[in-house]
Structure 1
């Protein structure tokens, strides 16, 4: 039975401002850099058996992965399928906006110019299927929207539970195949 670890990137300015980042490339804050280094220290201290770090190519996840790798020595690899969902017309709008919350419940909705949750789930589930078939233990460094999809792969969730699920910056969870 294999394991996959998942973490959300460190804090960004838009996280602080309660804005939807989505596919917009927003950098880490100073605290976000500190959170990533601290997570690397934790993984090193706990001797987590991670073979490789796969990360979203968006700068906030790439920088988080870089800091973790600098501390732990774990090799990294960009994984485009871990890119956050493109929330289209809702990018940079309030995360808790009622219009967005309503739209988010529609899994086939592409948010105008964005990407539907079904399409995101397809690419993430395909990645997880590949990892399940492999022998490596990987840390996935990605985003809150991706965290929901990863969790839904391992845990049965209602639509409301799916929409409500979220992770703190640099929180880490593990899942067993």
Structure 2
């Protein structure tokens, strides 16, 4: 979906509520840091309301700007190849992977620095989650291209 700022659909609403229940059962999250985009904010709000948590919004967690590919399927011709060209802007007018990694890595650096000792739930988007994965785990270009996180998926990372 990219930076097209749309609301969650019915499926997304259900996924957000399931995530909220899962987080409540875990009972280990101290704070939520979320993208400012509507779909991430709605997901974060579902968890926050269920768990009594605060939401901090961080602009740097917004989805990757896909340029020409905005709003198109990830199966659109050229999309898969373009997303692995780290120095090339997506769809000619979007963000390069280097630009995306810079903003996401800086957000993660700040989260680690500012919330040391806290369990933080980051609510973001697929392209951002792919970059988060590279922050914590080395990935080849092929692994990066094929890595995918389900909507409302939950992955635990540790800085220890």
TM-score by length of 1: 0.84
Question: Residue 129 of structure 2 contacts residue 149 of structure 2 at CA under 8 Å; is this kept in 1?
Answer: yes
What is the aligned counterpart of 2:38 among 46, 59, 63? Answer: 59
Deviation (angstroms), 1:163? 1.3
Deviations 1:65-112 (A, max 9, x none): 011111111110111000001000011222112311121121111122
Aligned length: 156
TM-score by length of 2: 0.93
Deviation (angstroms), 1:133? 2.3
Structure scoring higher RCO (CA < 8 A, sep ≥ 6) equals 1
Question: Residue 66 of structure 2 contacts residue 94 of structure 2 at CA under 8 Å; is this kept in 1?
Answer: yes
State the partner residue of 1:163.
Answer: 145
Bigger share in strand: 1
Q: RMSD of the TM alignment (CA)?
A: 1.1
What is the aligned counterpart of 2:105 among 105, 108, 125? Answer: 125
Could you say what secondary structure the match of 1:54 adopts?
Answer: strand
Deviation (angstroms), 1:131? 2.1
For structure 1, the residue ranges without an aligned partner over 5 or more in a row are 1-20
For structure 2, the residue ranges without an aligned partner over 5 or more in a row are none
Query: Matches of 2:81 and 2:22 in 1, distance apart?
Result: 37
Query: Matches of 1:157 and 1:166 in 2, distance apart?
Result: 13
